[in-house]
Amino acid sequence: MAMVWSPGWARSLVEGGQARREPAGPLGPVVRVHRGFRPVPRRARAWLDAVAALLALVLCRSLGEWWPAPVVAAVAVVAVSGYGRLRPAPRLRSVRLHQGGLALVGADGSERLLRWGEIEAAEYAPGGQRGEPERGRIWPAGADEPLVLAQLRGLDGLFREVDERLSPGLRAALHEALRTEGSVRFDRGRLTVTVGGLVHRPPHPLAATEAYRWAEVHSARASDLGELEIRTHSAGLPLTLPVPNARAAAEFLEEVRARSTG
C-alpha cells in the first residue's frame, strides 16, 4: 500500500521586517510581522501613473530641470503604499511569525495561534503576469480546507520561513512512509517514489507511463513557482508537479537518490 503525500496527513510596516520587541506569548518571541494591505485597483494605479507622468513633464519643462521627475515618482510610490496602510486590510490585519509558530490576526483583532506541529503543509503561489495576486495556503492539522493567506506584505518571505520550519518534519514523515509502505505518491498518484526509482504518469490519458531508476535521475528541486521539478538524464524537459511543500519533497527525493546511488 502506498502512502499518498497530501496536506491531510502529514517590507515590518512596509515589507514585514524585523518585529519590534513584544512580550513573548504562547508561541515564544516574535521574529517578524507581515502586515495586511489593501491593493490599489488597477484603474486607479494607471490613473495615478498617468497624472504623475504628466505632472513631472510639466514641471521639468517649466523649470528647465530634470530633478522634479524623480521627486514626483517618489511621491506617487508613497501615495500607493500609503493607500494600503490608511485603509484596513480586507482579510487579515497581520500575521506574526513567532519562534514557535504563527499568529493570524483578523480584521476584528481576533487571533488564531498555530504551532509548528499543528501545521501539516504549506504552499505559496507567486502572482502571475496577467495580474493574478500572490497567495499562500496553510493546512492546519485535521482541517478539511486550507487557510488562504493573501494581501500580506512580504508573503513570499513568510512562506520561505514556514517552509524552513516544516521541512525537517515533513522529510522525516516521507522517509518513514517509504520505509513502512514501500512507496510514496505525489500529486494524486502522478509520481510514485520507490526505493528503486520513480514512476511518472503523465496527465494526458494517452501518454505512456515513464519509469526512471535513481541512476537516471539527475536532480530534484523546488522551482521558483513552488513546483516540484525533476530532471532526468534522458528527458529534455523537466518533470514538474504542483505539490505542497515542494522544497521538502525535493530534498526527500535528493536524499533517497543519494542513498540509492551511493
User: pLDDT digit string (tens) for 20-55?
Assistant: 545 557 899 999 999 887 666 667 666 666 766 777
Q: What is the 3-class SS of the chain, one letter each residue?
A: CCEECCCCCCCCCCCCCECCCCCCECCECEEEEEEECCCCCHHHHHHHHHHHHHHHHHHHHHHCCCCHHHHHHHHHHHHHHHHHHHCCCCCEEEEEEECCEEEEEECCCCEEEEEHHHEEEEEEECCCCCCCCCEEEEEECCCCCCEEEECECCHHHHHHHHHHHHHHHHHHHHHHHHHHHCEEEECCCCEEEECCEEEECCCCCCCCCEEEEHHHEEEEEECCCCCEEEEECCCCCCEEECCCCHHHHHHHHHHHHHHHHC
Choice between 139 and 61, residue whose per-residue pLDDT is larger: 139
Mean pLDDT of 59-65: 71
* Three-point CA angle 202, 206, 212, nearest 5°: 40
Q: How confident is the model at residue 220 (pLDDT cuts 50, 70, 90)?
A: very high
- Mean pLDDT across the chain, nearest whole number? 81
Q: Which of 5-19, 81-95, 130-144, 246-260 tops mean pLDDT?
A: 246-260
**pLDDT tens for each residue of 116-151:** 999 988 988 887 666 678 889 999 988 889 999 988
pLDDT above 80 for 59: no
**pLDDT tens for each residue of 151-206:** 888 999 999 999 999 999 999 999 999 999 999 999 888 999 999 999 999 888 77
Indicate yes or no: pTM above 0.75: no
Mean pLDDT of 247-258: 95
